Amino acid sequence: MDNTLVDRDHEVVELHPERTEINERLDKFVTVRLADLGLSRGTVQGLIEAGHVLVDGVARRAKFKMTPGEVVTVTLPPPTIDELLPEAIPLSIVFEDADVIVLDKPAGLVVHPAPGHPSGTLVNALLHHAPEINLGGTNRPGIVHRLDKDTSGLMVVAKTDRARTTLAAQWEARSVAKGYVALVHGLVEPDEGTVDAPIGRDPAQRQRMAVTSARGREAVSNFVVRERFKFAAMTLLDVEIETGRTHQIRVHLTFIGHPIVGDTVYGRRDVGAVLNRQFLHAARLGFRLPDGREVAFESPLPADLQATLATLASVEVTRAATG
């Protein structure tokens, strides 16, 4: 993505096909490139049919095949506050009091409404569960931080103004403990390490983030090897982040040559062979409540990630036994 323009009525995104995307269908290309917006392929096809997706300024059909050098322009109508409705979406509540909700977000759930995805989000579920959360003129009521759509794990939501202020201050001071579990490609050699590299918009593909010294913001990630899967050439890591940049863990691990398994944006596209989403889970979260109490929470790996590890462990045992 080379450019994004936003005004009161719409957002316009420019996408540029790469050589690896030659002959890819237009609808699939746009869906993959805008994956973090939570747009379904059906929504993208609707945008194409309505003439909101242009290739070199010309409306094309969904099955149009991509060619490097073309410019794909996508016009995204933004959701409005009026579209925010309570929805009875199940929530896995870990802790709740008058000020905050700590929940375990499943993979696949978008945190807040985005263009083409105004409903079915965590925010819609929160408005049903805790209608006292104040909208405050935003489509992100109570949201202090977020997890990517396909990242599972712990989040804290502010129910009151004092909670929002307290939590925001802790994020700013970097005093929040944030621990993740990630499965990456390759055998990570050091048992532990730190990636200290600034992150900003990728100048070549602006829908992505990248390690960049040009306008990049400080980003620090620490990792410890939990287990190496020799025959699968994968490594399980515990990751603690000191900062909270967009896609920080995904970008940093790709930067050191170990992209997260299942990450089709920053990693490889062989996701179907192992897992149908990225192997990244927010497993630990610690912070201070508005009343001053220190709290810490842990979330076990979801069933799909546990199953992936069990399969890898089985392969290791089998291969080792057969020499």
Catalytic residue among 27, 99, 104, 148: 148
Pick the CATH number of 174-323 from 3.40.50.2300, 3.30.390.50, 3.30.2350.10, 3.40.190.10: 3.30.2350.10
Does domain 3-76 fall into CATH 3.20.20.70?
no
Cα gap 115→150, rounded to integer Å: 17
pLDDT along the chain (323 residues), means of 10: 37 84 94 80 90 92 95 77 81 96 96 76 93 69 90 96 92 95 96 95 77 86 97 96 94 97 82 76 98 97 96 88 74
pLDDT, tens only, 124-160: 999 999 988 865 556 678 888 989 999 999 999 999 9
What is the domain partition of the chain in residue ranges? Answer: 3-76, 79-173, 174-323
pTM of the model: 0.75
For this structure, is 196 an active site residue?
no
| Dihedral, 209, 247, 222, 293 alpha carbons, nearest 10 | 140
pLDDT, tens only, 192-214: 999 999 998 787 776 788 998 87
Asked whether this chain's domains 3-76 and 79-173 adopt the same fold, the reply is: no
CA dihedral for 239, 243, 249, 251, sign (positive or negative): negative
At residue 134, the pLDDT reads: 65
Does domain 79-173 fall into CATH 3.30.2350.10?
yes
